[in-house]
Structure 1
Amino acid sequence: MAKSLVTLALVCVCAVIIGVLWRVLYLVWLKPKMLEMQLRRQGIPGNKYRLLTGDRNDEKAAFKEAWSKPMELTHRIVPRVIPYHDHMVKSYGKIWFKWTGTTPRVNIWDPDMMREILLNRSGHFIKPEDNPLMKLLTMGLSTLEGQAWAQRRKLINPAFHLDKLKEMVPAFRISCIGLAERWEKLLSAEGSCELDIWPEFQKLTGDMISRSAFGSSFEEGKRIFELQKEQTVLAIEAARSLYLPGFRFLPTAKNKRRMFIDKEIKRILRDIICKKLDSMEIRGSANDDLLSLLLQSHNPIAASKDQNKNSGITIEDIIEECKLFYFAGQETTSILLTWTLILLSIYPNWQQKAREEVLDTCGKNTPDFESISHLKIVNMILHEVLRLYPPAINLVRHVNGKTKLGDVTLPEGADILIPILLVHHDPEIWGEDAEEFSPQRFSEGVSKASKGQNAFFPFGWGPRICVGQTFAMIEAKLALAIILQRFSFELSPSYAHAPFTVITLQPQYGAHLILHHL
């Protein structure tokens, strides 16, 4: 009897081992090869699958080479920013696939197909499952799907209604005036100074977000921004490396640092939330900022019972939304302002046109919501900067069901790469001057800027379009108007043109300008 039990146990163990091995074989070899075969049958080219790593090592080598030195002062930035994609385009054309580990990622360049993916009428294009270490950076609304996403979006949308944003403009003005006054103190007796504007704009947008969205100043949120900046570097490193299941639990030095940063950010945000709750209890209900709005929707009892029944959100959910807004809100606007001043330094004629428009509209008065809404040239300039230097250069979606898209049938299990930067620089869409700075192309609005098709995606598209895009544009217009009133600027001899990506499209060696007081 005992011998029979031992034999049965051994058979069970062997069956489990065989099952696990078969599952591993399927995931790391059979499934990728089947997906590859389905794509190649349709004539979609790409590299052969390589076990586990895919094209990861080649892509890392391409980044290392391209980012090893600055480039010449042009806007033909694709070969430097996404060198491997540039190589794939030259090798295969506009539609191809590359390997991200064991998953084929299909490059879709056609604007109509891109819009169809982002509209997601079929429901088969979802956000991909991130490396677990990437989730330490941001989660919240950006990672939700289905009903959970719809409920959260509905909850957050009112905070970004135009009437609500108008109320935030006085807080924006305080931050912008503080920046201008700080710059004026740095000027020499001759009325000029050299300054790296990239960290300056990070401080500015951090202060704007802290004041308008959370009712605090930059100093209170400064530690969060510093920690998130470090977490971003660690997250990108994780994303570009092969991730093995369970790796995040290993007590490596970087994993311990990642976890510490995550806990520290959450601790600071909890303190801010507690202060806000105390303030709301003293003053009664308030909805003057994003955090207040989220807290009013917090129902501890209902939320703990069922997160999916429109019963409010937990404090942990609110913390994740705060992390996302701190990160996305600061990065998008600070990057936009940085590249705008760089480009206006390269093209002083457009700098002067923008300044004349601001002075004609506002005089020497501090701009307000009404005045910046009439800045047509400034608006054109910001759109052209977003076209040439979009903060997010790609969007990725996962195919969770076999789907027909134009002439292409996308297999379940593949990823879709929406190459915003490539589309924004495409001469077939924007004309032969696609890689030139020409704000005039937006003189009749976004819809008429390209050749017969809307191919402008700096904030995404469709129902998941960035909820904070109007917030970011108001911030940028106001800041730029105040700067143009008080300063002129030019590139410093020490400026090195080197756009590269750390989540967003950034200047690798900073953005050194020479400011002159007007």
Structure 2
Amino acid sequence: MKSGFSPLQWPTLLPLLLLCVLFSYLYTILWLRPERLRQKLRNQGVKGPKPSFLFGNILEMRRIKHELARSDQEQEAGTGDRFSLNYVATLFPYFLHWSRVYGSIYLYSTGSIQALFVTDPDIVKELANCKSLDLGKPCYLQKELGPLLGMGILTSNGDLWVHQRKVIAPEFFMDKAKGMVNLMMEAANAMLSSWENKVESEGGSAEVVVDEFLRNFSADVISRASFGSSFAEGKEIFNKIRQLQMAMAKQNMFIGVPGSRYLPTKSNREIWNLDISIRKLVLNIAKSREHDSATPVNKDLLHSIIEGSKAGPLRSCIPEDFIVDNCKNIYFAGHETTSTTAAWCLMLLASHPKWQSSARAEVLDVCQGNPLHSDMLRKLKTLTMVIQETLRLYPPAPFVTREALNNIKVGSINIPKGTNIRIPIALGHRDPAVWGPNPDRFDPDRFSNGIAGACKPSHMYMPFGVGARTCAGQNLAMVELKVVLSLLLSKFEFALSPNYVHCPAFRLTIEPGDGVPLVLKKL
């Protein structure tokens, strides 16, 4: 049988055929496959907003944010405590809106990513107790946030994650964290001395925007504690990781839109260049360390990471990537969480003078004029309550994110492979059914009987995540926060500057959008 097309027509038809194949591929990836997943959940009674082709619910999210953010903020302003407003209303109003419409479990889409949104306490408990490696971190994180996180401990799964956890977690056990108190004091006193000089030079009172100071302090601590170097040596890495974080935060809503990270936009080019630069800097430090003799002084976290890169299940991760990605994870998570929480804590203490006075009195009573040491930390009950309440109102990470790497059952829901699961920490931390009336109010007293006495059920308090993947560095973060806040309280009284503007911003973590300016007076 003869073909209906002559050889001369094929060059004309080839582009058309390729276009048809491309469209068929995109239609399958972007619609048919996600629609089959969505249908499996719909058949179990899971509802949600109707997605559109290519963008899912992204366009609706932008519309809701534009329409509802202002009105919701005005409603929340009626609570009377403008410093503890539920920022979910301004940053993520679409989640509030959909929760009102669809309840505590619903499905939404960002591009090709299908996300199961969960605030139901029973399902959260099931997820927290799940130890199966079939439930892991979303695969898109390695792609979309690859330049910042790669395949490090924050994003990896399976045997690779198990190996990374065994390498890294022991470096942050409580006994090691307490052993770092002296170096934390050294870093904090250097920062506070600069503030004392400023206060004295300005006649006893000075305004200081504390965020960058706290970021540098925390970076200095994690660098000294984990990498055996001072902040000065790692300053370039920290600065570039901060730039990378800011650049990637601008693109957050479009995560999941196919091909967006490959386009040579100005933002993408900036991300690519920073990624290359950071990789070179980290590898230079690692190579110089490898050339050093393996004396006990060098057996810090970097040494463990280098040794870990030579062993374990590294089929999907070459040794250089293992070192670079985990160093970037520690650099980012190790200082960003602590510095942001410290800034929010100071904002809340500055706006609640009674709690500031109470925390200061406790610090002075415990220390009795002596240098701070690890045994004193457990006696700082009031300060611990203040930190816990700060982490409730302003958890650094807004979500716990997981992905069903295989079909799994959670509670009564059969979750298909490929489904993302998102637990909104900020919503869970402000649920009146869990925390009682006035959950938006700053009230450290709610932790007077510990976490179990503060909320029912206690697993709904999750500033460091939930389950097997709870943050490995939470002990270091808590010790570091107690050290820097107790030293600061013992040296200064402080109030919020009239220039303070309350505008929490989502830049991969929740941080003060315009910084925290404090008016400091030396005690």
User: After TM superposition, is the score higher than 0.5?
Assistant: yes
AA paired with 2:182? P
Instruction: Quote the Cα distance in structure 2 between the aligned partners of 1:482 and 1:117.
Output: 38
Per the TM alignment, residue 313 of structure 1 is displaced from its structure 2 partner at its CA by 7.5
Q: Distance in 2 between matches of 1:38 and 1:119?
A: 24
Deviation at 1:452, TM superposition (A): 4.2
State how far apart, in whole Å, the 2-side matches of 1:450 and 1:17 are. 56
Q: Is the 8 A contact 2:407 2:416 kept in 1?
A: yes
Residue-by-residue CA offset, 1:438-467 (whole Å, 9 max, x unaligned): 111111211221124431111011111100
Cα distance 1:200–1:247, how it changes in 2: closer, same or farther (>3 A)?
same
Matched with 1:212 is 225
Q: Residues 393 and 251 of structure 1: is their aligned pair in 2 closer, same or farther, counting only changes over 3 Å?
A: closer
Distance 2:459 2:215 in 1: 31
Distance (Å, rounded) in 2 between the aligned partners of 1:104 and 1:298: 33
- 1:290 correspondence with 2:295: no
- Where structure 1 has 5 or more consecutive residues not aligned to the other structure, the ranges are none
1:54 is matched with which residue?
56
Alignment of 1:136-151 (within 5 A): 136-139=147-150, 140-151=152-163
CA deviation after TM superposition for structure 1 residue 284, in Å: 3.0
Q: After superposition, where does 1:320-359 map in structure 2 within 5 Å? A: 320-359=325-364
Please give the secondary structure, in 2, of the residue aligned with 1:447.
helix
Aligned to 2:120: 110
How far the C-alpha of 1:38 sits from its partner, in A, is 2.9
Residue 234 (structure 1) aligned to one of 247, 254, 258: 247
User: What is the DSSP-based 3-state SS (H/G/I as helix, E as strand, rest coil) of the residue aligned with 1:73?
Assistant: helix
Query: What is the rounded CA distance, in whole Å, between the counterparts of 2:255 and 2:155 in structure 1?
Result: 21
Instruction: Return the letter of the residue paired with 2:38.
Output: E
Q: What is the one-letter code of the residue matched to 1:219?
A: A
Q: Map Cα deviations across residues 385-442 of structure 1 (whole Å, 9 max, x no partner).
A: 1011100111221223333322333233322111111000000001002111111111
Q: Which residue of 2 aligns with 1:460?
A: 465
> Is contact 2:309–2:320 with CA below 8 Å preserved after alignment?
yes
Provide closer, same or farther for how the CA distance between residues 222 and 287 of structure 1 changes in structure 2, counting only shifts above 3 A.
Answer: closer
1:256-312 Cα offsets, whole Å, 9 max, x none, are: 22111111111221222233234x32x63545421122234443xx68xx7259xx9
Shift of 1:231: 1.0
Give the direction of change, closer, same or farther, for the CA distance of 1:147–1:101 in structure 2 (3 Å limit): same
Q: Could you report, residue by residue, the CA deviation over 1:221-243 in whole angstroms, capped at 9, with x for unpaired residues?
A: 22212211221122223332266
Listed as ranges, the matches of 1:194-205 within 5 Å are 194-205=207-218
- SS at 1:409's partner residue? strand
Offset of residue 353 of structure 1? 1.0
Deviations 1:158-179 (A, max 9, x none): 2112332233222111101111
The secondary structure found in structure 1 opposite 2:240 is helix
> Any conservation in 1 of the 2:505–2:511 contact (CA below 8 Å)?
yes
Q: Alpha carbons of 1:360 and 1:405: their partners in 2 closer, same or farther (altered >3 Å)?
A: same
Please report how far the alpha carbon of residue 191 of structure 1 lies from its aligned counterpart in structure 2 after TM superposition. 1.5
User: In the TM superposition, what are the counterparts of 1:250-289 in structure 2 within 5 Å?
Assistant: 250-278=263-291, 280-281=292-293, 284-289=295-300
Give the corresponding residue for 2:47. 45
SS at match of 1:448: helix
Q: Which moved more, 1:47-56 or 1:478-487?
A: 47-56
Any idea what the Cα deviations from partners look like across 1:112-164, whole Å, max 9, x if unmatched? 31132233344432211226342101131111111111111111122112332
Could you tell me how far apart the structure 2 residues matched to 1:97 and 1:298 are? 38
Give the number of equivalent residue pairs: 508
1:185 aligns with 2:197: yes
Take 1:241 and 1:259, find their aligned partners in 2: how far apart are those partners?
17
SS of alignment partner, residue 466 of structure 1:
coil
In structure 1, what residue type is equivalent to 2:462?
Answer: F
Q: Shift of the alpha carbon at 1:331? A: 0.7
Of residues 438, 446, 451 in structure 1, which corresponds to 2:443? 438
Q: Distance in 1 between matches of 2:398 and 2:390?
A: 13
Secondary structure class of the residue paired with 2:139? coil
Letter in 2 for 1:199: E
Relative to structure 1, the CA distance from residue 220 to residue 74 in structure 2 (aligned partners, 3 Å threshold; closer, same or farther) is same
Q: Residue 178 of structure 2 corresponds to which residue in structure 1?
A: 166
Question: What SS does structure 2 have at the residue aligned with 1:137?
Answer: helix
Is the CA contact (8 Å cut-off) linking 1:403 and 1:410 kept in structure 2? Answer: yes
Alpha-carbon contact 1:113-1:405 (below 8 Å) kept: yes
Structure 1 residues 193 and 361, CA, compared in 2 at 3 Å: closer, same or farther? same
- In 2, are the aligned partners of 1:97 and 1:105 still within 8 Å (CA)? yes
Per-residue Cα deviation, 1:308-329 (whole angstroms, up to 9, x for no partner): 59xx972331121111111111
Go from structure 1 to structure 2 and tell me whether the alpha carbon gap of 1:248 and 1:416 turns closer, same or farther (over 3 Å shift).
closer
Q: CA deviation at 1:355?
A: 0.6
Residue type of the alignment partner of 2:209: D
User: How far off its partner does 1:64 sit?
Assistant: 5.8
- Which SS does the other structure have where 1:193 is aligned? strand
For residues 502 and 401 of structure 1, the distance between their equivalents in structure 2, rounded to whole angstroms, comes to 30
CA distance in 2, matches of 1:366, 1:215: 23
Task: Report percent identity of matched pairs.
Answer: 34
3-state SS of paired residue (2:50): coil
How much does 1:249 deviate? 4.5
Q: Partners of 1:396 and 1:85 in 2: how far apart?
A: 15
| Mapping of residues 361-440 of structure 1, within 5 Å | 361-440=366-445
Question: 161-170 or 343-352, which moves further after superposition?
Answer: 161-170
3-state SS of paired residue (1:425): coil
Moved more, 82-91 or 142-151: 82-91
Q: 1:296 to 1:352 in 2, by over 3 A?
A: same
**Residues 243 and 80 (structure 1 numbering): CA distance in 2 closer, same or farther, change over 3 Å?**
closer
Aligned match of 2:164: 152
Q: Output the CA distance in 1 between the equivalents of 2:43 and 2:314.
A: 43
Q: Alpha-carbon deviations, 1:476-503, whole Å to 9, x = none?
A: 0000000010011111111111112111
State the 1:76 CA deviation: 2.6
Q: Distance in 1 between matches of 2:289 and 2:378?
A: 32
- CA deviation after TM superposition for structure 1 residue 339, in Å: 0.6
* SS of match in other structure, 1:315: helix
Structure 2 contact 451–458 (Cα < 8 Å) conserved: no
CA contact (8 A) 2:227 2:300 kept: yes
Return the alpha-carbon distance in structure 1 between the equivalents of residues 120 and 262 of structure 2: 41
RMSD between superposed Cα atoms in Å: 3.0
Unpaired segments ≥5 residues, structure 2 = none
